[in-house]
Amino acid sequence: MDGSIDGSIVLFGPPGAGKGTQAGRIVKLTGKPAVSTGDILRAAVVAGTDLGMSAKGFMDVGELVPDEVIIGLIAERLEADDAVRGVLFDGYPRTIAQAESLENVAKVSNVISIEVPDDEIVERIVGRRMDPETGDIYHIKFKPASNKIQSRLIQRKDDNESTVRNRLAAYHVQTAPLADWYDERGLLSRVDGTRSIADVGNDIASKLST
Ligand code: AP5
């Protein structure tokens, strides 16, 4: 395919930085579909597919799923009609090998790095709750859900303190070097992710419009 899909955006950052939270607004702004490797993998685990079975063990302990599994998954997703004008990647690529492979199938125009220090990440992840009906993301303190939907919210299996520490370690060793990799290519914009959800979103929107 050789980089045939133009104009994709990468949302980059540590676990809990707010990638999923901001993705909805960027989808509305750009019209590009969100492609979250984490969501695709979790759906595969629930469906009990071969992909899900090979990914589950890694996800449960907070390690990255092997590159060859992820690269195959993305190649298949980018075959869909809605990917033709580029997509919003959430949580992909996460290694230099994934980024190099992506260059063969899609051209990235912007990489938004949402930056949050480790000590804030653990509180965000442990307090995160998900709405299984809508996919909406909440937080018990920072973004509480209404009373009406409280009872149906779930907590991700990997959202516990020990797994978060492993996910952060994987991020620093395997994923963080990608920021410099994209910076060297003139594609990286850094966003301070410690502000309110609205302020982070406004900053991302302004970076995408310039
Ligand atoms: P994945 O699902 O991608 O998880 P992640 O990268 O760890 O990211 P999260 O979903 O935890 O965080 P987020 O940045 O989306 O934060 P959110 O918006 O929810 O991956 C899961 C696993 O799948 C990996 O561990 C790995 O095993 C595997 N995997 C996936 N992709 C892979 C790949 N490419 N290669 C290999 N393996 C892969 O926000 C977090 C919380 O904070 C929420 O409660 C939210 O309400 C709150 N919040 C958000 N913004 C703010 C703010 N500004 N202020 C206060 N609170 C906020």
Which helix or strand (DSSP H or E) is residue 37 part of?
helix 37-47
In whole numbers, what is the pLDDT of the chain averaged over residues? Answer: 95
Here the CATH number for the domain that contains residue 134 is 3.40.50.300
**What is the reported pTM?**
0.95
Q: Does residue 59 lie in a domain region? A: no
Q: Quickly count: other Cβ atoms within 10 Å of residue 191's Cβ.
A: 25
| Closest C-alpha residue for ligand 1 atom 40 | 16
Q: Which residues is 8 bridged to in the sheet?
A: 108
Beta strands in the chain (DSSP E): 5-12, 34-36, 88-90, 106-115, 128-130, 137-139, 188-192
Kindly give the number of the ligand 1 atom that is closest to the alpha carbon of 66: 36
For residue 124, give the 3-state DSSP assignment. Answer: helix
Q: Does residue 171 lie in a domain region? A: yes
What is the total residue count of the chain?
210
**In Å, what is the CA distance from 39 to each residue of 64, 156, 187?**
14, 11, 25
For residue 138, give the 3-state DSSP assignment. Answer: strand
Kindly give the number of the ligand 1 atom that is closest to the alpha carbon of 194: 53
* 15-28 pLDDT tens trace: 999 999 999 999 99
Q: Would you place residue 3 in the very low, low, confident or very high pLDDT band (cuts 50, 70, 90)?
A: low
Return d(Cα 46, Cα 127) in angstroms, integer.
22
* 191-210 pLDDT tens trace: 999 999 999 999 999 999 87
Q: Does residue 3 lie in a domain region? A: no
Q: What is the pLDDT of residue 206?
A: 96
* 131-183 pLDDT tens trace: 999 999 999 999 999 999 999 999 999 999 999 999 999 999 999 999 999 99
Which of 11, 19, 68, 160 maximizes ligand 1 atoms within 8 Å of its Cβ, making it the mutation to test the pocket?
A: 19
Q: What is the pLDDT of residue 209?
A: 82
Q: Does residue 148 lie in a domain region? A: yes
Cα(167) to centroid of ligand 1, in Å?
Answer: 10
The domain in which residue 166 lies consists of 8-32+85-208
Which of 65, 88, 157 maximizes ligand 1 atoms within 8 Å of its Cβ, making it the mutation to test the pocket?
A: 65
Q: What is the pLDDT of residue 6?
A: 82
Sign, Cα dihedral of 197, 136, 170, 173 = negative
Q: Which residues is 188 bridged to in the sheet?
A: 111
Reading the block at residue 180, the tokens are 């410099």
Q: Does residue 156 lie in a domain region? A: yes
Return the amino acid letter for 2.
Answer: D
Q: Which residues is 113 bridged to in the sheet?
A: 12, 190
Beta strands in 39-105 (DSSP E): 88-90
Q: Does residue 66 lie in a domain region? A: no
**In Å, what is the CA distance from 73 to each residue of 15, 33, 66, 91, 107?**
20, 16, 11, 13, 17
Q: Does residue 74 lie in a domain region? A: no
* 34-52 pLDDT tens trace: 999 999 999 999 999 999 9
Q: What is the pLDDT of residue 78?
A: 94
Q: How many domains does the chain divide into? A: 1
Q: Is 14 in the pocket of ligand 1 (CB under 6 A)?
A: no
Q: What is the pLDDT of residue 4?
A: 66
Catalytic residues, which ones?
Answer: 19, 94, 128, 156, 167
Q: What is the pLDDT of residue 35?
A: 98
* 85-100 pLDDT tens trace: 999 999 999 999 999 9
Instruction: Report whether pLDDT(30) > 50.
Output: yes
Q: Does residue 14 lie in a domain region? A: yes
Instruction: Report whether pLDDT(82) > 50.
Output: yes
DSSP one-letter code for 82: G
Q: What is the pLDDT of residue 1?
A: 44
